[in-house]
């Protein structure tokens, strides 16, 4: 396509905060469903559900589908005082689209329905036993949380659960079988993956189920994607049946890049992490993992990202590193200007892993809903932003656009701990974006770019630009 756009991470506009992404291909478009954080929000999931979609052959061209479900539509939330936590969608036996979700202060599963993937969903009912008792309200039930759904024929498999360390009342991820009405329980919940308090001897040690169960079928195998006890990673377990037998497979992605040892030590974090939630999807001939990252120095303004993965013949999935090019199908062009918010690495010396307001961060000006582009802020001495990857042709300079009450310089590297290949020279106090140029040895082929601030004050970076010549 002549108008095909490059795809970045995050894949949605920089002022949009849609975590917990559940991607699906319906027709010739890929749709992403998730919860809805607010910029500068004070808690998780404060917004109504919205949806975005993109053509399967142009994954840089995302379209806003609008609000698909308002939280006040749930009869339990007529006061509008509860949030919509992470949802999932499945196509029922009748061809309609069913949206499963849990409100933040109840332990039952709600369902809404729509005739189209991204239309206006209407409340449909609550998952319940044959006697009418709601799932989650029987004495032996464990609280329902983070529903994931898969429909095969006339039955739907519902996966739920949340297991915090120290809570022995929560045993693990649960699978409940539903009838063709999408609400009535045919088979009561069974545990399919252990929580941290019950991980010993299971093969899940160190990566036990925490939350965010999502289910996909690949060939004859069922993949249970979930957030582990470490929170920052999305792991998978595999079975040849949907209601049990899942064996731990490994980590697919971490929003700190811990576990990746190709360009650093495996236990070294190069981004500030927090909770994670997402799933896998096949788009065209390629498989991708959708996940999210934390921004703004808080837990509560998360953005969706995606990476290409390989599913091997034996069913295994190797962990992939975070990139700036995600859905692009390969490196970005090493030419022109790129917004700084596509940095996939953001860290400083002696960092803590879990995100907080003292660290360098992605942010924006204005309030939630203001379509102001994101940028990197709060970069104190040693703070580094990493961008992956660019296909360069005779790049001789890199321009950093920055502002802030600062005195120092920016260093450029093309390896994480490699030698400095360019410096901008002195950068000084400015309340507007100013360009600072670093001459570099000619860059040809695929390169990663790392920008480190050295100096006083806290710098902000708006963009990086590649200059050839």
Based on its alpha-carbon atoms, the radius of gyration of the chain, rounded to whole angstroms, reads: 23
Q: What is the dihedral of CA 373, 378, 383, 387, to 10 degrees?
A: -10
Could you tell me which residues are beta bridge partners of residue 354?
A: 273
Task: Identify the active-site residue in 141, 211, 257, 411.
Answer: 211
The span from the CA of 406 to the CA of 379, in Å, is 10
Residue environment code for 186-203, b if the CB has 16+ CB neighbours within 10 A, otherwise e: eeebebbbbbbbbbeeee
For residue 424, give every residue at least 6 positions away whose Cβ sits within 8 Å of its Cβ, in sequence order, or none.
Answer: 400, 409, 410, 412, 436, 437, 438
Kindly state the tokens that stand for 299. Answer: 């837990």
Checking DSSP bridges between strand 172-178 and strand 29-33, what pairing results, if any? unpaired
Q: Do β-strands 155-160 and 172-178 pair in parallel, antiparallel, or remain unpaired?
A: antiparallel
Q: Which residues pair with 339 in a beta bridge?
A: 463
- Calpha distance 386→301 (Å, rounded): 20
Active-site hit among 20, 74, 199, 409: 20
Q: How many whole angstroms separate alpha carbon 418 and alpha carbon 413?
A: 6
For residues 382 and 20, what is the distance between their CA atoms, to the nearest angstrom?
31
Token couple for 390: 């660019």
Strand partners, 79: none
Three-state secondary structure readout of 346-409? EECCCCCCECCCCCCEEECCCCCCCCCCCEEEEECCCCEEEEEEEEEEEEEEEEEEEEECEEEE
Told to judge if 20 belongs to the known catalytic residues of this protein, a careful annotator would answer: yes
Peptide bond just before 6 cis, omega within 30 deg = no
Q: Which residues are catalytic?
A: 20, 211
């Amino acid at each position: 396509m002549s108008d095909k756009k490059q795809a970045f991470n995050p894949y949605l506009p920089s002022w949009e905060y849609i975590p917990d992404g559940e991607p699906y291909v319906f027709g010739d478009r890929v749709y992403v469903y998730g919860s809805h954080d607010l910029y500068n929000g004070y808690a998780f999931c404060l917004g109504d559900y919205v949806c975005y979609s993109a053509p399967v052959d142009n994954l840089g061209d995302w379209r806003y589908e609008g609000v698909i479900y308002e939280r006040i539509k749930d009869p339990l939330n007529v006061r509008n005082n509860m949030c919509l936590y992470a949802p999932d969608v499945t196509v029922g036996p009748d061809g309609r689209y069913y949206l499963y979700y849990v409100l933040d202060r109840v332990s039952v599963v709600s369902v809404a329905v729509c005739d189209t993937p991204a239309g206006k969903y209407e409340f449909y009912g609550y998952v319940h036993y044959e006697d009418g008792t709601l799932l989650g309200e029987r004495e032996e039930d464990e609280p329902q949380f983070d529903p994931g759904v898969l429909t095969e024929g006339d039955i739907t498999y519902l996966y739920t659960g949340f297991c915090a360390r120290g809570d022995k009342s929560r045993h693990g991820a649960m699978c409940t079988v539903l009838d063709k009405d999408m609400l009535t329980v045919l088979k009561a919940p069974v545990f399919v993956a252990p929580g941290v308090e019950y991980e010993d001897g299971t093969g899940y040690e160190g990566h036990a189920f925490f939350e965010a169960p999502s289910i996909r079928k690949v060939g004859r195998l069922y993949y249970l994607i979930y957030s582990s006890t470490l929170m920052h990673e999305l792991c998978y377990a595999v079975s040849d049946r949907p209601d049990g037998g899942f064996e731990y497979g490994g980590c697919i992605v971490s929003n700190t890049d811990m576990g990746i040892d190709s360009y650093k030590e495996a236990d070294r974090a190069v981004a500030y992490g927090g909770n994670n939630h997402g799933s896998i999807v096949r788009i065209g001939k390629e498989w991708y993992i959708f996940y999210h990252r934390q921004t703004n120095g808080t837990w509560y303004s998360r953005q969706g990202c995606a990476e290409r993965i390989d599913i091997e013949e034996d069913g295994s999935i190797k962990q992939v590193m975070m990139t700036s090019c995600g859905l692009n199908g390969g490196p970005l062009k090493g030419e022109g200007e790129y917004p700084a918010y596509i940095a996939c690495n953001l860290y400083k010396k002696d960092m803590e892993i879990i995100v907080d307001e003292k660290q360098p961060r992605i942010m924006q000006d204005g309030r939630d809903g203001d379509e102001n582009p994101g940028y990197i802020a709060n970069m104190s001495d040693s703070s580094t932003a990493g961008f992956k990857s660019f296909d360069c042709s005779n790049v001789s300079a890199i321009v950093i656009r920055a502002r802030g009450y600062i005195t120092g310089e920016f260093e450029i590297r093309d390896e994480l701990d490699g030698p400095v290949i360019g410096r901008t020279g002195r950068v000084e106090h400015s309340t507007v974006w100013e360009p600072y140029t670093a001459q570099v040895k000619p860059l040809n082929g695929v390169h990663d770019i790392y920008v480190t601030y050295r100096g006083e004050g806290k710098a902000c970076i708006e963009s990086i630009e590649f200059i050839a010549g």
